[in-house]
Amino acid sequence: MKNKIKKSKFITKSIMKDAIVEALKKLNPKYMIKNPVMFVVEIGFFISLLSTIFPNIFGDKGSNLRSYDFIVALILFITILFANFAEAIAEGRGKAQAETLKKTRKDTSAKLLDLNGNITVINASELKKGDIVLVENGDIIPNDGEVVCGIASVDESAITGESAPVVKESGGDFASVTGGTKVVSDWLKVKITATPGESFLDKMISLVEGASRQKTPNEIALNTVLVSLTLIFLIVLAALYPMASYTGVKLSISTLIALLVCLIPTTIGGLLSAIGIAGMDRVTRFNVIAMSGKAVESCGDVDTMILDKTGTITFGNRLASDFIPVEHVSKEELIDYAVLCSLKDDTPEGKSTVELGYKLGSKVEKSKYEDMEFEEFTAQTRMSGVNLKDGTSIRKGAYDAIKDRVGKLKGAIPYGLDDIVNKVASLGGTPLVVCVDNKIYGVIYLKDTVKPGLVERFQRLREIGIKTIMCTGDNPLTAATIAKEAGVDSFIAECKPEDKIEAIKKEQSEGKIVAMTGDGTNDAPALAQADVGLAMNSGTTSAKEAANMVDLDSDPTKILEVVEIGKQLLITRGALTTFSIANDVAKYFAVIPAMFAVAIPRMQVMNVMKLATPYSAILSALIFNAIIIPLLIPIAMRGVKYRPMRSETMLLRNMLVFGFGGIITPFIGIKIIDLLITPLVRILNLG
């Protein structure tokens, strides 16, 4: 199924090698200061290392304590490396995908057209915004642009991964072309809409490799909380030293550092950046380009989703299903006139009308009507049809448009026509009324089918508290029927572009986060207004520029899955934060009692793990603190498994799984490590 995230190895040899190098490069304090929690750990490492080299600098004496300082420094160094490694792995996966995209970006030439239509071949990098270029069969489109003339098939597999060519033509919502794609038939004249280095492909590469990633609001807020907790524990530690001295417990500088590192939220501090990068990576592997991390994060907060009916909820190919004549008109007459006015109509509706008409026995001979005049459908007339050589005019169109036309020609509205139109609308179909001059003959029943599986998906969204609103140009009766069949919560009938903006603003005024999809120029204002705007890659340049996400597969229903990926990002961050803080609580019960039990025997009651010595307790907690980071990297990269449920239920579940698990895991892990390192502690004569 195309909508599934593209499968790839979690980590390759190449990514592993590059991540190790990057983890070492990130040790630079100028970089580490961006992550305050891990920067504190790095400072602790340098102090412990200094204490190892100059054992008397902080008043510590004895070769055994020197060995202890070295072990603490080594564990802290490994802790920092693991945190950097987690971020480097996330970046490496993005960079690997960016390299694949870079291979599609070739140094191409462009056939530049001047005002007289003369062709000058230049390098694509010399093109300017507004230039007109000619691309023919076999040519690579040199840069992003809009088709101004011609029609051709374009292979977009380099961008979308989809092998089937896409037809591009001037006008409408399929005029946008992307630099790096290939023309595989005919020719196009393209107006360049991007300057070199700022094309859609360039933006994709920059975003995927993380070059332009900035921290999201939620990430900044959580980072502030982590810094606050770190400062609180620094104050606690400053108060603990004189308390320990008073009770006769001598704490070395390395012990204080180890205690601080064990108690501050190093686990989530080391994984926070990786979680954010991995969230964008998951969206990208789903063939959606997010213009910022904030866009992905906003998906997880969506409260309301606004969806177009045609192409999103329904297939959009309204096909003729039946012919319903009015009283005193035979079905054969209606069929023949419906076929006649559709012979030159190349829309799916027109072609299906002709096909169904002939299946039902129409005797209309195409050859006799080749010279008749065809009137195309327009938004103003809301009808189409033909004018025969004998002056007869045949039209099919919306009920009110045909009704007005017949009224102007002083014709009568047949009895029962309203009932036929309402019946078709109540079935979720579209009624096209057929008239010949000033006489109405009946209705063509066009049927649009709701996409399978949408009812379940909308139910899934409802379970997590997301409201769905369907927008359609259909009349209220048809809209209500489709809305009921699809299972959406609400609908806007006879919807115009400005109605979508009003609907978005109304929801936002109530404090809700709104998502919507679109592909046309008239969708651009609404896409810009929405908190999450998903534009189709096949759509217009203005739509893609207005949105903050672009779907390379041009599948409007993908917004449903994108929202779930956003939810997964927020859940993963929350779950690992819960696990990290619960870890710190457990480590508190491991380290503090072991440290003070010698001076205050009654504290031995709190030493529930029965750790061997104060030093083995501290080292065990410190080692556990280091190794838990790489163990959680797969969860940070892949995300916590998402299950649709209410926020309250989700919070309770994660509190139980990651909160309770975060408390139990250190008790088990630290005890096992203590058993393993106790012999080493005794050999080093540490207590």
- 70-85: per-residue pLDDT in tens? 999 999 999 999 999 8
Residue with token string 């207005």: 546
Average pLDDT over residues 290-314: 79
| pLDDT the model gives residue 38 | 92
Q: Is 195 annotated as a binding residue?
A: no
Q: Is 609 annotated as a binding residue?
A: no
pLDDT above 90 for 525: no
pLDDT band at 317 (very low <50, low <70, confident <90, very high): low
Query: DSSP letter at 85?
Result: H
Q: Which long-range contacts (CB under 8 A, 24 or more apart) does 475-479 make?
A: 475/425, 477/422, 477/425, 477/426, 478/425, 478/426, 478/428, 478/429, 478/430, 479/309
pLDDT above 60 for 318: yes
Q: Is 345 annotated as a binding residue?
A: yes
| pLDDT the model gives residue 443 | 96
CA dist., res. 632 & res. 639, Å (int): 10
Fold of 287-311+450-551: Rossmann fold (3.40.50)
Work out the end-to-end distance of the chain between its first and last CA atoms, rounded to an integer number of angstroms.
62
Provide the pairing of β-strand 514-518 with 532-536: parallel
Contact in structure between 518 and 547 (CB atoms under 8 Å): yes
| pLDDT the model gives residue 100 | 59
User: Which residues of the chain are in CATH 3.40.50.1000 domains?
Assistant: 287-311+450-551
CA dist., res. 208 & res. 98, Å (int): 6
Q: Is 382 annotated as a binding residue?
A: yes
Average pLDDT over residues 21-42: 89
pTM over 0.95: no
CA dist., res. 637 & res. 277, Å (int): 8
Which of the two residues, 654 and 96, has the higher pLDDT score? 654
Average pLDDT over residues 589-611: 72
| pLDDT the model gives residue 92 | 73
Question: Does residue 353 sit in helix, strand or coil?
Answer: helix
CA dist., res. 658 & res. 578, Å (int): 6
595: nearest Cα among 260, 226, 265 = 260
| pLDDT the model gives residue 201 | 65
Phi and psi at 229, nearest 5°, equal -60, -40
Question: Ranked by mean pLDDT, which of 209-213, 309-313, 636-640 comes out on top?
Answer: 636-640
CA dist., res. 459 & res. 468, Å (int): 10
User: Which residues of the chain are in CATH 3.40.1110.10 domains?
Assistant: 313-448
Q: Is 349 annotated as a binding residue?
A: yes
Could you tell me how far CA 405 lies from the centroid of its own chain?
Answer: 47
Question: Does residue 588 sit in helix, strand or coil?
Answer: helix
| pLDDT the model gives residue 18 | 81
Which of the two residues, 440 and 188, has the higher pLDDT score? 440
Q: What is 313-448's CATH superfamily?
A: Calcium-transporting ATPase, cytoplasmic domain N (3.40.1110.10)
Q: Is 6 annotated as a binding residue?
A: no
Contact in structure between 630 and 624 (CB atoms under 8 Å): no
Q: Is 400 annotated as a binding residue?
A: no
Contact in structure between 573 and 272 (CB atoms under 8 Å): yes
Q: Is 396 annotated as a binding residue?
A: yes
- Rg from Cα positions in the chain: 34
- Which is it for the CA torsion 459, 461, 466, 472, positive or negative? negative
Among the residues of 314-446, which ranges form H helices? 331-340, 348-359, 399-408, 417-426
- How many residues appear in the chain? 687
pLDDT band at 2 (very low <50, low <70, confident <90, very high): very low
Question: Does residue 291 sit in helix, strand or coil?
Answer: coil
Q: Is 523 annotated as a binding residue?
A: yes
pLDDT above 70 for 236: yes
Which of the two residues, 237 and 334, has the higher pLDDT score? 334
What is the set of active-site residues?
Answer: 308
pLDDT band at 442 (very low <50, low <70, confident <90, very high): very high
pLDDT band at 159 (very low <50, low <70, confident <90, very high): low
pLDDT in tens, 99-109: 655 655 556 78
Residue 305, beta-bridge partner list = 468, 515
Residue with token string 């309301």: 304
Contact in structure between 462 and 486 (CB atoms under 8 Å): no
Q: Token digits for 606?
A: 């709190």
pLDDT in tens, 527-541: 888 888 888 876 777
> CA geometry: angle at 674 spanning 671 and 678, to 5°?
150
| pLDDT the model gives residue 362 | 92
Which of the two residues, 558 and 197, has the higher pLDDT score? 558
Mean pLDDT of the chain: 82
